[in-house]
Structure 1
Amino acid sequence: MKVTLDLTDLVQSGKLTAAEAERLRGLAARDTVSLGINILVGFGVVAVAAGAGALLPSAYTALALGVVMFGLGLGLIMSGAKAWELLAQICLVLGALGFCGGLAMLDEGSLRVMLLIALLLAVAAVVARSGLLIAASVLVVGGCLGSSTDYRHAMYSLSVEEPTLTIVVFAVIALAGYLVSLRVTAAYERLGLIAARTAVLMVNFGFWVGSLWGDRLLRVRALLHGDPSILHDYTARSEYVSPLVFSIGWAVALLAAGVWAVKTDRRWMVNVVAVFAAIHFYTQWFEKLGASPGTVLGAGVLLLAFALGLWSFNRKAAPAVPA
């Protein structure tokens, strides 16, 4: 566990002696040098991989580089060289992403290869103990359901094509990640919680989009009727799940999650519930009332109240520091 301390403030407040502070500075200086070397070598590895990919741009190059870099990182971890731990993590993450990217190019991003990539990233995350890879694995599942993000000039967008399926699938993933985190060692508990938290974000995104446009259940209908052409039937006007259902369901889910989070002292969940409760409220506020000076003023006052309440909760929940 890494802890950030203000040594000067601790010494001045009498919570740490000058000798203890000097000893900690010495330890930090040694770690800082090791960190700097790891970062420099990591940049070198990235540059070499990028150069090789530019010289031989193909899916097979990405696969080969991915295998080499992942193998290098795995070798450093198995050697037990603590000084090169950061470099090992860099190689493992880049290797896994490069290999999975090569697979996606070979099969043109098909559903089967995306599911395989999600599984491979999860396995790589466990091997590398990488929170980034486990989060990427969960997000790839969203891609299998049609979720995506986009950026254009001065505009970001979020797409969730199947809100109902997104909510159900990621609710299951969130529950599974949480239950796994309760039954594994501390090193893997973190991965379970990251997977669960990423899934919770996706559940909220599903509710958000559904509360605005509803859900025509295209994939469910295509599966039930055995007709893939239904997936492209965006002109259909009938809605199987109305936006109102998502709006009410989202509010109930946020309330239940908030009560559970407070009772079990899950501060991350409390903060997420507060943020998405505000997003839900303002989405419906402006969707129903429109944008005017009065509604903007009222929204601002309520936002300040939400922020004050959240600050008060975090302050009370923060553990007391002994003198």
Structure 2
Amino acid sequence: MKITIDIDKLLAEGRIDQDEYNRLKSFATEDTGSLAFNILISFGVIAATLGAMALLPSTGTAITLGLILSVTGVFFQTKYTKNWGILGTILLLVGTLMVSGGILAITQGSVVGFLLVMIFCAVGGILTKRTLLIIIATLALSATVGAMAMYGYASYFLVIRQPLITVILFSALGWGAYFFSFRLPADYSHLAIAVSRTSLFLVNFGFWVGSLWGDSLWLRNESWSLDGPSLIPDWFFAWAWAIALLGTTIWAARQNRRWAVNALSVFGAIHFYTQYFENLGASPATLLVAGIIALGIAVALARYNRTPYTQALRN
């Protein structure tokens, strides 16, 4: 578990003494100069790589250079973490994105392509213990069941083509990763937690889309139209989402999983307002009530987050 504290503020408030302040500060490493040096070198390497790609533009070039950067990044991450860790991280991320883009270009965004990207990112994340790569791997897995995000002119789109499969798949993955995290060493448990948290978002997105349009399973698989029949109606997802949110939030509160409580509360509010405005529409009265409820949720969350750890766990 990582905890962020302001030791200067604690010292000023008299909650720790000078000896405790010095002891805590000694645990921190201040490598500002090394950080700037790493970033400067990273920019040079990236600029040179982009120049090479401009001279020889092809997916093969992108994958080759990406693999070189990724392997170099893993080497620095595993062998010279203290001095070159930042450089290794940047090289690995850039290389991973280049390789992933090349794979998707060659496979034309097929399921096999996204599975290869998932494996590549997962291996890199495990080798370097970086949660960002693990999150990218989880998102790549979601793309294999039709999840994606798009951007149009002044518009953003979230696409979940298989809500039921998304909910089932990432519910199992999220709970599995959460319980598996207790069996992993401290250096790797945060990777499993990252998978679990990313899965929580994907499950709720699946419920959200399903609560609006239902799920036709395979019947709309070849078309983007929303006018086809739904084998699973939207009301099923709406009720199932409400029950899942309530049950999981109660569990998370009892386990003092505050991140989960806050995330689930946000999705609970999204669910409530989605159904609220879908059924009642937008009017001065409904907006007034919605605003009051939103303020109530914010106050309740603020009070919960200020509750001391031991008291929240006991309750």
Please indicate, yes or no, whether the TM-score normalized by the shorter chain is above 0.5: yes
**Taking structure 1 as reference, are residues 33 and 4 closer, same or farther at Cα in structure 2, changes over 3 Å only?**
farther
Equivalent residue for 1:138?
138
Name the residue aligned to 2:104.
Answer: 104
Paired AA for residue 303 in structure 1: A
User: How big is the shift at 1:217?
Assistant: 0.6
Cα offsets for 1:259-316 (capped at 9, x unmatched):
1101211111111110000000000000000000000000000000011111111111
Equivalent runs, 1:297-316 vs 2, <5 Å: 297-316=288-307
Q: In the alignment, what sits opposite 1:237?
A: 228
Aligned twin of 2:251: 260
135-144 or 72-81: which moved more?
72-81
Q: Which amino acid aligns with 2:165?
A: L
Displacement of 1:12: 2.8
**Bigger mean CA offset, 300-309 vs 152-161:** 152-161
Q: CA deviation at 1:167?
A: 0.6
C-alpha separation between the residues in 1 aligned to 2:7 and 2:224? Answer: 62
Residue 4 of structure 1: CA displacement?
Answer: 4.9
- Listed one character per residue, the Cα deviations across residues 117-152 of structure 1 (whole Å, up to 9, x for unaligned) are 112211111012111111011111121111111222
Q: Structure 1 pair 157/56, CA: closer, same or farther in 2 (3 Å)? A: same
1:62 aligns with 2:53: no
3-state SS, counterpart of residue 222 of structure 2: helix
User: Does the aligned pair in 2 maintain the 1:164–1:215 contact within 8 Å?
Assistant: yes
Which residue, 277, 284, 290 being the options, matches 2:268? 277
Asked if structure 2 preserves the Cα contact closer than 8 Å seen for 1:93 and 1:130, the reply is no
Quick one: distance in 2 between partners of 1:15 and 1:9?
9
Task: Give the equivalent residue in structure 2 for 1:33.
Answer: 33
Structure 1 residues 164 and 2, CA, compared in 2 at 3 Å: closer, same or farther? closer
Following TM superposition, by how much is the alpha carbon of 1:61 offset from its aligned partner in structure 2, in angstroms? 1.0
Measure the CA separation in 1 of the matches of 2:241 and 2:160: 15
Segment drifting more, 36-45 vs 120-129 = 36-45
* Displacement after TM superposition at 1:236 (Å): 6.0
CA RMSD, Structure 1 to Structure 2 (Å): 2.4
1:10 offset after TM fit, Å?
3.5
User: In 2, distance between residues paired with 1:268 and 1:194?
Assistant: 12
**Alignment identity in percent?**
39
Q: Offset of 1:6 from its aligned partner?
A: 3.9
> What's the CA shift for 1:240?
0.3
Q: Describe the shift of the 1:153–1:259 C-alpha distance in structure 2 as closer, same or farther (beyond 3 A).
A: same
Partner of 1:179: 179
The Cα of 1:177 is off from its aligned counterpart by: 1.3
Do the aligned partners of residues 155 and 253 (structure 1) sit closer, same or farther apart at CA in structure 2, a change above 3 Å counting?
A: same
- 1:211-222 equivalences in 2 (<5 Å): 211-218=211-218
Does structure 1 conserve the Cα–Cα contact (< 8 Å) formed by 2:242 and 2:268? yes
Q: Specify the code of the residue in structure 1 equivalent to 2:54.
A: A
Moved more, 230-239 or 109-118: 230-239
Structure 2: runs of 5+ lacking an equivalent: none
Counterpart of 1:290 (choices 281, 292, 303) is: 281
Q: Distance in 1 between matches of 2:209 and 2:131?
A: 27
Aligned-partner Cα distance in 2 for 1:29–1:81: 13
Instruction: Return the offset for 1:35.
Output: 1.8
Which letter does structure 2 place at the counterpart of 1:152?
A: G
Q: State the TM-score, normalizing by the size of structure 2.
A: 0.90
Is the 2:207–2:238 Cα contact (8 Å) retained in structure 1?
A: yes
Deviations 1:78-121 (A, max 9, x none): 32341111111111222222112211111211111211211221
Q: TM-score, normalised by structure 1?
A: 0.88
Are the structure 2 counterparts of residues 56 and 318 from structure 1 closer, same or farther at C-alpha, using a change threshold of 3 Å? Answer: farther
**CA deviation after TM superposition for structure 1 residue 206, in Å:** 0.4
Q: How many aligned positions are there? A: 311
Residues 74, 124 of structure 2: 8 Å contact kept? no
Alpha-carbon distance between aligned partners in 2 of 1:49 and 1:2, rounded to the nearest angstrom: 35
- Structure 1 residues 289 and 21, CA gap change in structure 2 (3 angstroms): same
Distance 2:81 2:201 in 1: 36
Q: Which amino acid aligns with 1:262?
A: A
